[in-house]
């Protein structure tokens, strides 16, 4: 039986940003938040901006699960 991390949310929406979970990456990508690579086979999130057009869909931000996702989505920042 293959173990999967089921505690991660599929989609997260916050301040017009949409984060979609990729459960198992095919290759390593550079994290848009910290600049370190994600590892192949591990989960990460793709972040797009709702209503931003095709550029955002074709070239989304990819971030690590955890602190990078938290920072990139703007959780904890005060609304102005």
Q: Is the pLDDT of residue 7 over 70?
A: yes
Say how many domains are in the chain: 1
Q: Is the pLDDT of residue 5 over 70?
A: no
Which residue range forms the structural domain that includes residue 54? 13-73
The answer to whether residue 37 is domain-embedded is yes
Instruction: Provide the whole-model pTM.
Output: 0.77
Q: Measure the CA dihedral 48/50/53/54, to 10°.
A: 30
Distances, alpha carbon 79 to alpha carbons 26, 29, 54, 72, 74, in Å: 36, 30, 27, 15, 10
- Give per-residue pLDDT as tens, 19-56: 999 999 899 999 999 999 988 999 999 998 877 666 66
The answer to whether residue 79 is domain-embedded is no
- Give per-residue pLDDT as tens, 56-71: 677 889 999 988 998 8
């Amino acid at each position: 039986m293959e173990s999967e991390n089921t505690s991660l949310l599929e989609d997260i929406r916050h301040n017009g940003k949409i984060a979609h979970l990729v459960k198992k990456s095919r290759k390593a990508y550079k994290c848009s938040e910290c600049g370190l690579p994600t590892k192949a086979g591990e989960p990460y999130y793709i972040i797009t901006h709702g209503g931003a057009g095709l550029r955002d869909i074709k070239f989304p931000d990819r971030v690590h699960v955890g602190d990078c996702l938290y920072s990139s989505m703007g959780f904890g920042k005060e609304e102005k």
